[in-house]
Structure 1
């Protein structure tokens, strides 16, 4: 009993003060998270009535940067959520194992004629057992999958945005090339026509070739112009795809995400409230 007394004193401190504080604060934290997620779900539900015609027709650099930031935040959310749930389960399991190894449950209210001590279950052990059982029933995998799925959804949007931005860059490069070659063609055509001035058509080209270089260079310029138009058409279509795809994915996945995390937050809050109730009962039993 002398050896076990410091352990029993530490257990009493944990169960009457630390455990009470922990379960109370965790319950309030999850309750606050539930309210936030419910508010987010309400806001997201309004996306269903969002008019896509008022959305930006192009993905700006700032918009793309914010999408990248969102993707990184959701990825970190998924990682930290997994660590939190794993750590919580390990914490409860390790503490429960430590108590099993270090606490010898003995009834201190023994009658003088009792031949053997009667084993009792320490209140903290009951609390940890209940905590472990409830953790096993929480739908934490559903929340983990929902967060991971939304991370993939944001990545899909990013891929479409990147394709749009690459097309826009190609258009800018092609447009610059077209402007440069147009100036070169105009200079060349002016000099070419000056050489042809006063030369009868039957005399042939000034450079001695039979082919018509003016027609060839015009054809090359027309080909470049057609390429530019095709890129512009593809870009317009891609902008529309990005807007429609993004809105469709967000409308489908965001409400489901916040519905699941709202339910999980509500159940987590209820779990800690029940554990808080057990901890207050333990306090009364210890007294």
Structure 2
């Protein structure tokens, strides 16, 4: 009774509703292969997608679970009635009561036979589905993953070559300030790299979760609850060997290196965003200082035009030299002018820092991230080639054996 429950649990983990990384058209990296898997005959398998095959396996496993549960209930009831019948026969009880109990036992035995046949039929359907559809689809899926990662590897190689040319550019950083469009573009780039990192992590997690669930289900189905573990067919060995090799392969790929590469590039972009924000703050401080200076200059000119450069009405010649409001105003104007010039210099320096940081961070960050992604794509391609080689070796053995 425990056996189907555990298999049923793994079946739930295999539900295509949880395998979202290939369900979205935006995330379908298999191209033509993805379309073929949905429509036609794949590797000799019955027409239908891998998704529908897993759904049907899940439905059959659920049916098997209910049938075994029902059989266990009947078995317990049969044992109970058989024990009652033995007691009645030993006691030589009433004939009618004994016959009635015997008929109940016979009826339960018949129901048990029907339940056993139903279990065998359902098990045969699961085996048939696993051998004729699931295994060929997995083989084709591995081939599709090889093609996908080879394409990604070649693409990242080209990207790496392009971004490595940055170091040969003797570009003098621009002194143009950061515009609003430029700032929004940098923020959008940061958002896209964040999404890239999240999608990459989800992709690896989904692939690992899928093959771990599939391998775990096969392990339970083929070995743990089999009456004779040595009686498994060659096809059983092939599908389990494929999934075990796949499981090991996906664990060996250097996803943490690639993930950290994207994360480091994201940190570099974020530093540029922060510096651009600091530049904007410095720009506002500079503009504010010049507005204040302009205001004080206007006030000074107004006083000078009204009273003359050094004369103030109602003041004696002795106090004019010691306390001259126009002179004091002029001193304040000069202090503000110096402050405004300092803020302007700081702003120009901030612009230069932003430009230099942008160039340096891109020069360093882009080659690193694409080198990491190139290495990851190459490792995935090699890993799935080894998995495919494993299936080829199994097919060669099957051709040799009678």
- Considering the TM-score relative to the shorter chain, is it more than 0.5? yes
| Aligned position for 2:188 | 69
Matches within 5 A, 1:1-287: 1-12=120-131, 13-16=133-136, 18-53=137-172, 55-103=174-222, 118-120=231-233, 121-193=236-308, 196=311, 202=317, 204=319, 211-279=323-391
Tell me which structure has the larger Cα radius of gyration. 2
Gaps of 5+ in 1: 106-114
Q: Give the CA deviation at 1:280.
A: 5.7
How many Å separate the matches in 2 of 1:85 and 1:261?
13
Deviates more, 1:61-70 or 1:258-267: 61-70
Is the 1:78–1:148 Cα contact (8 Å) retained in structure 2?
yes
Q: Give the CA deviation at 1:104.
A: 5.9
Is the 2:175–2:351 Cα contact (8 Å) retained in structure 1?
no
How many Å separate the matches in 2 of 1:67 and 1:198?
59
Q: 1:66 to 1:283 in 2, by over 3 A?
A: farther
Secondary structure, aligned partner of 1:2:
helix
Q: Give the CA deviation at 1:143.
A: 0.6
How many Å separate the matches in 1 of 2:195 and 2:229?
56
By relative contact order (CA 8 Å, sep 6+), the higher-ranking structure is 1
Is the 2:174–2:352 Cα contact (8 Å) retained in structure 1?
no
Query: How big is the alpha-carbon RMSD for the aligned residues of Structure 1 and Structure 2?
Result: 2.9
Task: Name the TM-score, length of structure 1 as normaliser.
Answer: 0.84
Secondary structure, aligned partner of 1:136:
helix
Gaps of 5+ in 2: 1-119
The aligned length equals: 274
Q: 1:116 to 1:168 in 2, by over 3 A?
A: closer
